Structure 1
């Protein structure tokens, strides 16, 4: 075995046999923000054979305080998070297969993103996507390491189809009162702790250490020195996901074409097909205040004050507004209806 794992293999619960299991495993991390970057860093360094990373966004300076795989150059160049993370992770461990996917996880692609995966890890920043991931995991029988962090608070649980309740059993609503990292902030140590809880549960599961797995939801407030653990208990009898097998988040035939990204003053519009960035740069330069392009996206500062960010897969971010009607108007004006 590679000398890089020598200290990990000396840890008896993993050993050489566990290390081989890790090398044969595949995981998917949805969201490469604060939680996702810590998760990917741990699992790639641990030698998990394939790590698939999925994110729809690009690196900004406000990310650097807590999103550990990114640096100032990534923000200046506006690299997609999945691409910037892939570059760092390949330099950390060239033996691990890194699959970087620049995409929004939606009802249209979530199950495909989880194909061939042994477990999924939650690096998202909103409950709408978490419920989507939860429902897809429980329909496909894939374990789901849930985690959330905001302000100085964090929580985490390991959810295993057929063994534990699902996320819907103890969090019924996607409404968290509007509290996001963008509205009330977050301190980086909280992120590290939550993701470390998730990562260690992933390692336990992948090496087959079932007896060591956590069976409780852990919550804490790092600033105010609070810590609480709640037994997951039995699944809710009327749970539409793990008991009734209805999987509500997967019922929609198509993802909403326009979604306001909570706390971001940004609306994402799915678009109707791929965009050729070079062509759109030529088209928009005469009517824009400023245009910047790299291999992965096109940023267009509009004279009205808002900014468009175009991705090759057809998605467009309208930044500077959280009004969906306003965003659609701008989109129609510059991209077309």
Structure 2
């Protein structure tokens, strides 16, 4: 065995992989979007397994509340306010110096998705919102790149491995705006659920990259580790009304799809308009445990942290007050409001 492969000797002994599969893996590039709970587990497993190149993009920085479930970070990263992509690179290179790690501090968007995805063999979802997932889904299906989807909140998680031309896409099994609004910052999350879903994501990725496509799971898997529930929904035919699978329209790649944020000049405020309507009473109850709330017949004001407020309107608009940075505004919106 080549000395460079000796570190993977136990993986190479696994019959479905062997040395040929390991060599295929070492020639592969993975794009991981998001270095949070899912993304850190995904990156760790891929790097330890011997992926050739890992490109990682994340827009956030490490905070103390991340350490409960985001396995690549520690208190020193919090102390130095390191961007997650940078902190992840520092840890991953110590695990496996053979892997090329490309960290990108920023937000994935219609403007940069083509450059990020162009040479990837697979894209793995480590995000926390469906608007970004639809962007990844549409780009992957446009460029014929497999998409390993995963999502976790509370003790629940979902995952599926989508292959353009062979499986339906994410849009076939979910609908924009159908999310229940729950996020890890409103209902919490436990680490075992994260570990399980991300491990399923990586397992399917390893099957694909090592040439074991016949072993791929053909289901959308849903688990609730606390309540001992496991479901598998077969990925059958694409939805005949799907804009991506049947019409090749890729709506998230259209510039109008990205026109969600507007910086309100001189007001230290960013307006985000993703939803068609907002139930103010529902959101008063949902955010009341973590914010100071004031509701009128027309709007809901939520003071989330010092200097940051949400103003929510019935028509679906949300003002993020206390910043003029669209990336920070999106981060706060995704954290507390979600899809």
TM-score scaled by structure 2? Answer: 0.79
Distance 1:69 1:218 in 2: 25
Measured against aligned partners, the alpha-carbon deviations of 1:82-102 in whole angstroms (never above 9, x if no partner) come to 000000000100000000001
Distance 1:108 1:13, change over 3 A: same
Cα offset, 1:326, TM superposition: 5.4
Q: After superposition, where does 1:134-149 map in structure 2 within 5 Å?
A: 134-149=137-152
In structure 2, C-alpha distance between the alignment counterparts of 1:246 and 1:197, rounded to whole Å:
30
Counterpart-to-counterpart distance in 2, 1:169 and 1:20:
34
- 1:31 aligns to 2:19 (yes or no): no
Q: Which residue of 1 aligns with 2:324?
A: 331
Partner of residue 77, structure 1 = 80
Deviation of the 1:255 alpha carbon:
3.6
* Alpha carbons 1:108, 1:255 under 8 Å: kept: no
1:239 matched to 2:242? The reply is yes
Tell me the distance in 2 between the aligned counterparts of 1:259 and 1:110: 21
What residue ranges of structure 1 are gaps of 5+ in the alignment? 261-266, 271-303, 307-319, 333-337
Equivalent residue number for residue 182 of structure 2: 179
Name which of 196, 206, 209 aligns with 1:203.
Answer: 206
Q: Secondary structure at the match of 1:154?
A: strand
Contact 1:108 1:254 (8 Å CA) reproduced: no
| Partner residue, 1:117 | 120
Question: What secondary structure, in the 3-state scheme, does the structure 2 residue paired with 1:99 have?
Answer: strand
Q: In 2, distance between residues paired with 1:249 and 1:59?
A: 28
- Corresponding residue for 2:192? 189
TM-score, structure 1 as length reference? 0.79
Matched, 1:44 2:47: yes
Alignment-derived partner of residue 168 in structure 1: 171
Which residue of the other structure, out of 97, 115, 132, is the alignment partner of 2:100? 97
Following the alignment from structure 2 to structure 1, what is the Cα–Cα distance between the partners of residues 319 and 188?
27
Secondary structure of 1:52's counterpart equals strand
2:58 counterpart of 1:65 = no
Correspondence for 1:322: 310
Structure 2 unmatched ranges of 5 or more = 264-268, 273-304, 312-317, 326-339
Instruction: Give RMSD over aligned pairs.
Output: 2.2
* Deviation readout 1:128-183 (Å, 9 max, x if unpaired): 10001000100011000000100010111000000000000000124411101111
Alignment of 1:4 onto 2:7? yes
Aligned length: 280
TM-superposed CA distance for 1:121, in Å, is 0.3
